[in-house]
Amino acid sequence: MREPGEGDMGMRARGLLNLRAVLAPVAAGMCVMATAAAVLVPALGGVSGEAGRGRGGAAAPAVTHRAYGSGAAPAVAKCTARNAAESLRPSSEDGPAVSRIQEKGQLVVGVDQNTYRWGYRDPVTGELAGFDIDLALAVAEDILGPHPKVVFKAVPTSQRIPALQKRTVDLVVRTMTINCARKEQVAFSTAYFQGGQQVLAPKASKIAAFDDSLRGERVCTAAGSTGESELSAQPHGAKVLTVPNQLDCLVRLQLGEADAVVTDNALAAAQAAQDPAVELKGRPFTDEPYGVAVNKGDTDLVRRVNKVLDDYRGDGGADSPWMRAYRKWLQADLPGISGPPSPEYSD
């Protein structure tokens, strides 16, 4: 039976993937989680640092959590590839957006429910779990206090920005890359993870990388993703297929309906962990800093999230919350990362 918000690819995924994490359907209701009461509701949409260090750099010094009045943002330089990851400095002040969340008594977060290690439903506990889920819970606890109420909404890749613009969610924590095009529509926190676009294909495939070995091949990517943008700019002779959610690409690959996938290497590594017949090809060919996305008008919420991220990174040492989450969720598939990306600020 098809569950609410589940497409055909998602239905077949449940029967095809040999997962440690069988991705269960969306169910409205209460889930008792480690630190919060969380409600998962039907999916939205349908088909449709001073100096950055990247991965493994030295931790940034602690930042003072200053007050910024009503949360208004200062004038900033025009967004370019060099400064795209800059965000507003942290503040613990309760501005209009933070107060609105506190008055509601709940934080509504757009998340993924289909990406192993990042945001997925644990088949044993029935709870949402992953690196992004842990971060969302940390934000909720900072704003609402111990045992906060969190409403998780499953948001397809292409619906992340509309969900924020329509205020159907307060935040999106869903492996969302910070870039200038998106910053024209929504606001971002500082980067909490650094990835890069890469090709995923069967181990036996002759596809070698994001290059002309893709010519004539069917390459799948999620609509509204950075992968779609890169393929539009430089398809390398490939036939591009788009789907609502990145997991659908893995299903198409398994069904023989696609020959390769272009996605963030962090997501591709998780998919390779689910299916031993596929592997990452070549090297990452872009820089993909992930940020928490917020409605563009909610500058006080951006500052509050950055305050949480500052605390979450800690000193970048082994006992910091970020490193604990990395070891728990990502290290097995993405080894060798020694710390979080340093924050970059525009003010």
Positive or negative torsion for Cα 133, 136, 142, 143 = negative
Q: Any idea which of 58-62, 108-112, 248-252 has the lowest mean pLDDT?
A: 58-62
The CATH homologous superfamily to which domain 197-281 belongs is Periplasmic binding protein-like II (3.40.190.10)
pLDDT digits (tens, 9 = 90+) for 15-56: 444 433 433 333 333 333 333 444 454 445 432 333 333 333
Q: Any idea which of 14-28, 126-140, 230-244 has the lowest mean pLDDT?
A: 14-28
What's the Cα-to-Cα distance from 120 to each of 86, 154, 221, 295, 329, rounded to whole Å?
Answer: 29, 10, 19, 24, 11
Residue 272 in tokens:
């390779």
3-state SS assignment for residue 30: strand
List the chain domain ranges. 96-195+288-331, 197-281
What's the Cα-to-Cα distance from 13 to each of 39, 247, 278, 297, rounded to whole Å?
Answer: 23, 8, 15, 38
Structure-model confidence comparison of residues 248 and 144, the more confident one: 144
Q: Can you give the pLDDT at residue 48?
A: 30
What is the pTM for the complete model shown? 0.77
Domains 96-195+288-331 and 197-281 share a fold: yes
Distance CA 103, CA 105 (A): 5
Residue 44 in tokens:
């939205």
Q: Check: CB of residue 189 under 8 Å from CB of residue 139.
A: no
3-state SS assignment for residue 188: strand
Is the pLDDT reported for residue 161 higher than 70? yes
pLDDT digits (tens, 9 = 90+) for 244-258: 988 899 999 999 999
Q: Any idea which of 24-28, 277-281, 309-313 has the lowest mean pLDDT?
A: 24-28
Is 3.40.190.10 the CATH classification of the domain at 96-195+288-331? yes
